Amino acid sequence: MALFAISDLHLSFSCEKPMDIFHGWDNYTERIKANWCRIVKEEDTVVLPGDFSWGLKLEETLDDFKFLDALPGKKLILKGNHDLWWSTRKKVEDFFAQNNITTISLVFNNSVKVDDFYICGTRGWFFDDTAGKKVLLREAGRLDASIKSALDNGASPHQILVFLHYPPVYDGKECEEIWSIIKKYDVKRVFYGHIHGAYNKAVSEYEGVNLKLISCDRLEFTPIQIKI
């Protein structure tokens, strides 16, 4: 059983929001499917930290979730800033059950054990958005609860993998509220998305923590395997 990750699929099978208007995104859904099926097996797990679907309502995501559900492996979804369809856990899980979507689960105020790893995380938030301070503090609380749940289930710090949508550190700046939780629990590996294009300010290491940008266009639309 292997663990993979990829972020920011930006699927839009049920709405008019094509990503192939952007450079390098031509035939991106076909490329995602081909690359995914080439390396991911049914017994594997793939983590997707945000910006999964452009659907505004849960009902508008159905074709996107069917696309994902048909791909090999189990999938763990976290919320991104464009996932406006996101609702309560119960509503999403009921939606999955009603539509026979069986391979997808949420990481939302919880953690999930995958082999020797514990998958934790939340969306995160902006660095300097004072207007969204309450949202940021709530996101920090969600991350704290997620990591605590892993520790309560027997995880050691080196087994914890944190997935965020927003980068906790970027271009020498840190999101203090989120970063303080990462440091509090001595987390050593963090994966994030949100950043696209030919950016060169992504940070790969900060204060002893390994940081990995996994937006799908930065991975050539191929899930990346995570190893010990």
Instruction: Please tell me the predicted confidence (pLDDT) of residue 210.
Output: 97
Query: For 191-215, what is each residue's pLDDT tens digit?
Result: 999 998 766 678 889 999 999 999 9
Residues 6+ apart with CB under 8 A from 194: 7, 8, 50, 51, 80, 81, 165, 166, 167, 215
Give the span between the Cα atoms of 150 and 19, in whole angstroms. 35
Query: For 95-115, what is each residue's pLDDT tens digit?
Result: 999 999 999 999 999 999 999
What is residue 75's three-state secondary structure?
Answer: strand
Give all domains of the chain, ordered by start, each with its CATH number.
Answer: 3-226 (3.60.21.10)
Paired residues of 99 in beta bridges: none
Query: For 5-60, what is each residue's pLDDT tens digit?
Result: 999 999 998 877 777 666 778 999 999 999 999 999 999 999 999 999 999 999 99
Smallest Cα–Cα separation from 176: which of 130, 119, 131? Answer: 130
CA 217 to chain centre: 14
Smallest Cα–Cα separation from 181: which of 210, 222, 141? Answer: 141
Q: Tell me the whole-structure pTM to 2 decimals.
A: 0.95
Query: For 147-185, what is each residue's pLDDT tens digit?
Result: 999 999 999 999 999 999 999 998 888 999 999 999 999
